[in-house]
């Protein structure tokens, strides 16, 4: 079976994403997770550029990598400088990594306007840097920056740069599509021209400015590249790099190329979500292979077909990449999704039963009002059980009041007072909070905790507000989605109203009631 090596640059290229800032601890955690996935090379950073990266290279030596080799990244020597005297080369050696990734200029445009030196001097810079690092016992990966633009502009000179790298002893030569402006046919054509002229293994490094990075990487592999560079979840400067998650899925499952094991492939979804968490970036629901929506089905026709045979609307078995199929409850999904949910909850609902028709009608009416149950399965379960009269109230609300006060010094305080009954016992309490919804949440829990101590183990993890008709301005109806969790589960609930406090209250109550309901199962 043909093999392709994976090279991850999340810790360097990915760290250049707007909104990402990794600590040394973050980088170490990500590196260990990448190693568990089976990545062959992990680029740790540029040791000559900042103290944080040098600290990472010092700390990573204490971790015993099972699969990956750690790479230090840097540039070739400056013009008219020897490697032994170049600060960047010294820093690369000081990092003491087994592998050094060196980038150099392929494009005469960059040589002239960025380096401001001659074309011959650029070739010397490439060859002297690589030869020096090889003498120091390093494996050298050479990244030919802007190679594809360079090849379109002056193919002969672009080729001279990678030939110089090969002659100097580069172990792998990586053709970089740095500006992200190429399409797969152009990338394939240039790789096809270069490959017969280079004996060293060829690699590919692409950017996503045209949305083609992963496709360009696959096209290069089909033309003979044996080494693929990218980042987890496609993180990177501007529009990002090739998403290594997508590349792995396609290499392994579409091309049958050995890049990681089947067992490691099952970790793909977990690793993708883990790295988005450490990066403090929202995971993209529609990310291929690993997104929460990658195998989610909403349309009634789709769900009906999926129940009969999973291949009808899924291109692979989700569990191959550690993901799973989901059937979304909505007005579009018809009775099938309702029946599937009822089966999951052991409610014994039949397709033609009056309750089924009632729930479907209720669902359609509520979605017309602005409710959405795809991310609020807790609210939908409550809706079903109430419609089927299989639900008993845990408490009755007598009323609530929320007060927001701004003082002269600018301090804003929120206080909520709640009156409710539990088993005919009246409870009246008040609580402050960081905002009106937090105050309501605190007051509700305070009132119920004596009766339901398990609520102490539950907390809110996310709170989202969506304006449903912005044309109405501040009078618009809003949808509030709340995500809650306890020590075992996580669930979503929803509320809709022209009053944001009322919408929040609906979602809060559903959240608490769902917790109490599931604890009784």
pLDDT per residue as tens digits for the range 353-364: 777 777 777 777
Residue-level pLDDT at 472: 62
Please list, in sequence order, all residues whose beta carbon lies within 8 angstroms of the beta carbon of residue 155, skipping any fewer than 6 positions away: 190, 193
CATH fold match for the domains 5-260 and 352-387+456-521? no
Confidence of residue 351 (pLDDT cuts 50, 70, 90): low
Mean pLDDT in residue range 188-212: 98
Q: Where are the domains of the chain?
A: 5-260, 352-387+456-521, 395-451
Residue-level pLDDT at 348: 67
Closest CA to 93 of 59, 123, 134, 124: 134
Please list, in sequence order, all residues whose beta carbon lies within 8 angstroms of the beta carbon of residue 36, skipping any fewer than 6 positions away: 66, 67, 264, 267, 271
pLDDT in tens, 458-475: 888 888 888 877 666 667
pLDDT in tens, 156-187: 999 999 999 999 999 999 999 999 999 999 99
Q: What is the DSSP string of 160-218?
A: HHHHHHHHTT-SEEEEEETT----HHHHHHHHHHHGGG--SPEEEEEB-TTS-HHHHHH
* CATH class of domain segment(s) 395-451: alpha beta
Mean pLDDT in residue range 321-350: 67
Q: What is the DSSP string of 47-101?
A: TTT-HHHHHHHHHHTTS--SS-EEEEEEEPPPTT--GGG-HHHHHHHHTT-SEEE
Residue-level pLDDT at 214: 98
Rounded Cα distance, 450 and 489, in Å: 22
Rounded Cα distance, 502 and 334, in Å: 29
Q: Is the pLDDT of residue 326 over 90?
A: no
Question: In this structure, what token pair is assigned to residue 284?
Answer: 């993209």
Q: 455-468 burial by CB neighbour count: b if 16+ within 10 A, else e? A: beebebeebeeeee
Confidence of residue 312 (pLDDT cuts 50, 70, 90): confident
By the 10 Å C-beta count (0-12 exposed, 13-18 middle, 19+ buried), 343 is classed as exposed
* Lowest mean pLDDT across 242-246, 338-342, 359-363, 492-496: 338-342
- Looking at 2.40.50.140, 3.60.10.10, 3.20.20.70, 1.10.287.1080, the CATH number of the domain 5-260 comes to 3.20.20.70
Instruction: Give SS3 for 285.
Output: coil
Please list, in sequence order, all residues whose beta carbon lies within 8 angstroms of the beta carbon of residue 207, skipping any fewer than 6 positions away: 177, 178, 179, 180, 213, 236, 237, 238, 239, 240, 241, 242
User: Cβ distance 102 to 76 under 8 Å?
Assistant: yes
Confidence of residue 368 (pLDDT cuts 50, 70, 90): confident
Please name every residue paired with 409 in a beta bridge, in sequence order, or none if there are none. Answer: none
* CATH fold of the domain at 352-387+456-521: Double Stranded RNA Binding Domain (3.30.160)
Mean pLDDT in residue range 487-507: 89
């Amino acid at each position: 079976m043909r093999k392709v090596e994976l090279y991850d640059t999340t810790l360097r290229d990915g760290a250049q994403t707007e909104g990402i800032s990794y600590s040394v601890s973050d980088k170490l955690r990500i590196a260990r997770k990448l190693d568990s996935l089976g990545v062959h090379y992990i680029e740790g950073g540029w040791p000559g550029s900042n103290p944080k990266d040098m600290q990472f290279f010092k700390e990573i030596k204490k971790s015993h990598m099972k699969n990956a080799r750690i790479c230090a990244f840097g540039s070739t020597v400056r013009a008219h400088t020897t490697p032994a005297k170049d600060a960047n080369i010294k820093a690369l050696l000081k990092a003491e990594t087994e592998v050094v990734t060196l980038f150099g200029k392929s494009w005469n445009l960059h040589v002239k306007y960025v380096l401001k030196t001659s074309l011959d001097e650029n070739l010397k810079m490439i060859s002297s840097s690589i030869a020096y690092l090889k003498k120091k016992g390093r494996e050298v990966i050479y990244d030919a920056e802007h190679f594809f633009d360079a090849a379109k502009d002056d193919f002969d000179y672009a080729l001279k740069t990678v030939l110089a790298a090969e002659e100097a002893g580069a172990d792998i030569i990586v053709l970089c599509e740095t500006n992200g402006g190429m399409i797969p046919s152009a990338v394939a054509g240039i790789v096809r021209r270069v490959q017969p002229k280079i004996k060293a293994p060829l690699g590919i490094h692409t950017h996503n400015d045209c949305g083609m990075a992963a496709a360009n990487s696959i096209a290069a592999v089909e033309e003979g590249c044996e080494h693929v560079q990218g980042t987890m979840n496609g993180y990177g400067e501007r529009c990002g790099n090739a998403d290594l998650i997508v590349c792995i899925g396609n290499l392994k499952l579409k091309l049958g190329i050995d890049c990681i094991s089947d067992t490691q492939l099952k970790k793909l979804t977990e690793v993708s979500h883990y790295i988005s968490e450490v990066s403090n970036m929202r995971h993209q629901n529609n990310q291929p292979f690993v997104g929460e929506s990658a195998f989610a089905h909403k349309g009634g026709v789709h769900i009906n077909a999926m129940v009969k045979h999973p291949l009808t609307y899924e291109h692979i078995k989700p569990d191959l990449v550690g993901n799973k199929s989901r059937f979304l409850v909505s007005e579009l999904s018809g009775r099938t999704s309702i029946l599937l949910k009822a089966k999951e909850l052991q409610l014994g609902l039949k397709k033609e039963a009056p309750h089924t028709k009632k729930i479907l009608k209720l669902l359609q009416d509520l979605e017309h009002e602005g409710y959405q149950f795809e991310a609020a399965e807790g609210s939908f379960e409550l809706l079903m059980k109430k419609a089927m009269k299989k639900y008993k109230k845990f408490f009755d609300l007598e009323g609530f009041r929320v007060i927001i006060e701004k003082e002269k010094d600018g301090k804003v305080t929120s206080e909520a007072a709640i009156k409710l009954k539990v088993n005919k016992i009246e409870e009246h309490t008040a609580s402050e909070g960081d905002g009106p919804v937090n105050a309501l949440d605190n007051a509700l829990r305070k009132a119920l905790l004596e009766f339901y101590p398990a609520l102490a183990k539950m907390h809110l993890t996310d709170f989202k507000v969506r304006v449903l008709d912005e044309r109405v301005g501040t009078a618009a109806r809003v949808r509030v989605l709340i995500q809650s969790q306890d020590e075992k589960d996580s669930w979503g609930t929803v509320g809709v109203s022209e009053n944001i406090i009322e919408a929040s209250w609906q979602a809060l109550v559903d959240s608490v009631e769902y917790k109490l309901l599931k604890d009784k199962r």
